[in-house]
Amino acid sequence: MITMAMEEQQETKEHPRWWKMFQEGDYFSQHPRRGDVLEANILAMSDRDILVDLGGKRDGVVQRQDLDNVDEDYVADLKVGDTIPVRVLKVPLAQSGIVVSLKQGLSQRDWLRAERLLETGEVISAQVTEVNKGGLLVEFGMLNGFVPNSHLSSLPRGLSKQDRRSRKEAMVGETLHLSVIESNPRRRRLILSERMAQSQRRKEVLEELHEGAIRTGMVRNIVDYGAFVDLGGVDGLVHVSEMAWDYVAHPRDIMKVGEEIEVYVLDVDRERERIALSRKRLLPDPWEWVTDNLHRNDVVSGTITNITDFGAFVEVGRGVEGLLYHSEIPEDKKDLIEAGTELDVRIVHIDPLQRQIGLRLPGEEDVETHPDE
């Protein structure tokens, strides 16, 4: 017994208790160091400060001046038992509370989030708060993120300095889809990119889209042959022939930029990043309604919608087309056959299975070259 006591006394003299705790890893867990960022549980709250449990023998104190620098709505929602991030500012030698900062803890948590986003490439949404010469500032938790002009896909190239400034100022308050491309807490540099986010989002949309899917998008641009619809990061084309069952002279006649429409996915070419869309596929098909009122030898008024090598397609009612073969067109009238021309045609045959209607021009003889099927 005496020998064991002497050995223990000798061990204590050579290796103090704190050294043993240090070797076993318990010393720092019970003694937070300046600069540590910890998750702390709220033990008590008052108008002057917040007392938190740091997981050791000494509690932490978030002082009033620190709370004044944190969003008041965030502080107002806090309650005893909540877990908050704090950064150790000061560890007094006396057994008083360790001074910690909620503001810096929240800021550090945002840096950790930024690092994670940089690794994963995940796309986030952030609101534009300010404008400067080089780009835009966006809100990222307690931090300010910077989006350089060169990484703004919503900022057209080739603008004058004044137009660029005006365009950026108009973006204040807007929400952008962004990716983190640089995170450097020491230099307090948090750089984001709208262009990279758009590229990432495009890949995601292309992967999830498939033929037959129905999506809602916004008309981004209208051209002579159709309209480009933004599906949330990637554009698809609604060709003019897929806009309505009726004949459409120009896409602007039925669509406008900024309009939200529902579309049907016809085809997805992932390699070329091209998406074919249809609007008319989601509208009632007029075939049966129109053909129920048509009969062989009826003469109806129609409009030429398209000219091909073998004939002209003529709309005979609500987008339903019949084919007028070139062989049915007299030589003296071929010059009159062009898209948009209105003319009378005679029904030669109706094929409900193939959904085809044969036409010819009415004449004195009315000779049928295509017998009814």
Using the predicted structure, report yes or no on whether residue 298 has a pLDDT greater than 80: yes
pLDDT digits (tens, 9 = 90+) for 52-94: 998 877 899 999 999 999 988 999 999 999 999 998 998 887 6
Using the predicted structure, report yes or no on whether residue 4 has a pLDDT greater than 70: no
* Same domain assignment for residues 194 and 219: no
Select from 164, 181, 199 the last residue of a domain: 199
Using the predicted structure, report yes or no on whether residue 25 has a pLDDT greater than 80: no
pLDDT digits (tens, 9 = 90+) for 136-155: 999 998 889 999 999 998 87
* Same domain assignment for residues 20 and 40: no
pLDDT digits (tens, 9 = 90+) for 152-200: 988 777 788 888 889 999 999 999 999 999 998 878 899 999 999 988 8
Q: Where are the beta strands (DSSP E) in 169-270?
A: 175-184, 189-193, 214-223, 226-230, 235-239, 260-269
Say what the pLDDT of residue 189 is: 93
The rounded mean pLDDT for the chain is 84
Instruction: Give the count of domains, the chain.
Output: 5
Taking residues 236-247, what's their average pLDDT? 89
Residue range of the domain that includes 151: 121-199
Residue 371: inside a domain: no
Using the predicted structure, report yes or no on whether residue 100 has a pLDDT greater than 80: yes
Say what the pLDDT of residue 214 is: 93
| Residues 6 or more apart in contact with residue 150 via CB below 8 angstroms | 195
What are the residue ranges of helices labelled H in the chain? Answer: 2-14, 17-24, 27-30, 64-67, 72-77, 102-120, 161-169, 194-208, 287-291
Residue 287: inside a domain: no
Select from 48, 74, 107 the last residue of a domain: 107
Q: Could you tell me the pLDDT band of residue 21, with boundaries at 50, 70 and 90?
A: very low
* Same domain assignment for residues 97 and 38: yes
pLDDT digits (tens, 9 = 90+) for 263-274: 999 999 888 888
Q: Can you give the CATH number for the domain in which 314 is found?
A: 2.40.50.140
DSSP string of 7-18, one letter each residue: HHHHHHHHS-HH
Say what the pLDDT of residue 278 is: 95
- Measured CA to CA in angstroms, residue 135 lies from 140, 148, 154, 360 at distances of 16, 4, 12, 64
* Same domain assignment for residues 91 and 153: no
Residue 113, Ramachandran bin (φ over 0: left; ψ between -120 and 50: alpha; else beta): alpha
